[in-house]
Amino acid sequence: MSNIHHLNLAGIDLNLLVVFDALMTEQNVTRAGERLGLSQPATSNALSRLRNLMADELFLRTAAGLQPTPKAIALSQQLRPVLAQIQATLLSKPHFDPSTSDRIFALGMSDYVEFTLLPKLMARIQAIAPHVSLQIRSGDRQKLLSLLDTGEIDLVCGLFPEQIPWHQSELLFQETYVGVCRRDHPTIGNSISLEEYLAVSHLLVSVKEDRIGRVDLLLAERNLKRHIALSIPHFLTAPFILAQTDLIATLAKRIALEFAENQYLKTLPIPLDLPGFSVWMRWHQSTEDDLACQWLRSQIKDIASIQQNLHNPSISE
């Protein structure tokens, strides 16, 4: 973007930036033109003008379509949030009434955050904003942050410790870990020693679909190892497996308590100094003053605050 600072913006057709964004999305001249309602020759002409303006080819023709150059990729990362902010400004409404709004919010969440926040959030929305809808998007951190930057989601909730200048963030709550097993486990009572913990077989919930969790990294520092009998990628089947086996799982406290309440399970402290984690809400600065987004963020924050006080009343937010 540094080159743009030396250009006379008054002499530039800013519609070219819209064409550029469409070309980045479609990576095909014809489809980009159709997306914008332009003919193929008009789109090709715009691409030629863009190349002259930026002194770069921007897109190279390959068998798979147009391939953006490094300069095009860098330019897109800076332009898309700007274009999204312009669009939001032009389309924004000065008033938001949740009781009558039919807004569809897109949220990025991990399955953990869905499990802990979404039921209560949806119950509240149905009560005070019956026509509002939520669309949940999932994926790893980088994917969700990318969707946030392109304006495809309104906010993300999860483990997002990154400090990004054009993002705003707020701590929702802090989480700890506990052990979970069936109530009539033959060798585990209401407490467990490290020796007993290492002697039993474990269930690991790994979103990475591997066999190494935070516990294993901590044990490795002490030259210790546990036996992982089963590794699964999702939380949903864990309580049913734990209730019917002698496995033990080390899970986030909020999930563990829900499992214990609805299945024949019990929770207990783990004999390890395992650090917890913080759950954040993050949004793009372009939505900072959006009244609808402000309302949604306030609902999420309120629910998270209630949960924080219930589970960790001594931890300051």
Sign of CA dihedral 48, 15, 167, 173: negative
- Domain extents for the chain? 4-91, 104-174+284-311, 177-268
Q: Kindly tell me if the per-residue pLDDT of 316 is higher than 60.
A: no
Region 262-290: mean pLDDT is: 94
Q: Kindly tell me if the per-residue pLDDT of 116 is higher than 60.
A: yes
Fold of 4-91: Arc Repressor Mutant, subunit A (1.10.10)
Higher-pLDDT residue of 30, 133: 133
Q: Kindly tell me if the per-residue pLDDT of 140 is higher than 80.
A: yes
Q: Is the pTM of this model over 0.75?
A: no
Digit-coded pLDDT (tens) for 149-171: 999 999 999 988 888 899 999 99
- Reading across the β-sheet that carries 227-232, which strands appear in turn? 227-232, 201-205, 248-252, 177-182, 265-268
State the DSSP H helix or E strand holding residue 15, giving kind and residue range, or none if neither.
helix 15-26
State the DSSP H helix or E strand holding residue 251, giving kind and residue range, or none if neither.
strand 248-252
Provide, rounded to the nearest whole percent, the portion of the chain with pLDDT above 70.
93
Which CATH architecture does the domain made up of 104-174+284-311 adopt? 3-Layer(aba) Sandwich (3.40)
Using CA atoms, how far apart are residues 240 and 232, in angstroms rounded to an integer? 12
Residue 261: what are its φ and ψ, rounded to 5°? Answer: -70, -30
Tell me, yes or no, if the two domains 4-91 and 177-268 fold the same way. Answer: no
Question: Checking DSSP bridges between strand 277-284 and strand 155-158, what pairing results, if any?
Answer: antiparallel
With CA atoms as reference, report the closest residue to 146 among 216, 77, 57, 245.
77
Q: Kindly tell me if the per-residue pLDDT of 214 is higher than 70.
A: yes
Question: What's the angle, vertex CA 160, arms to CA 116 and CA 119, rounded to 5?
Answer: 15
Using CA atoms, how far apart are residues 190 and 268, in angstroms rounded to an integer? 6
Domain 177-268 indexed as CATH 3.40.50.880 = no
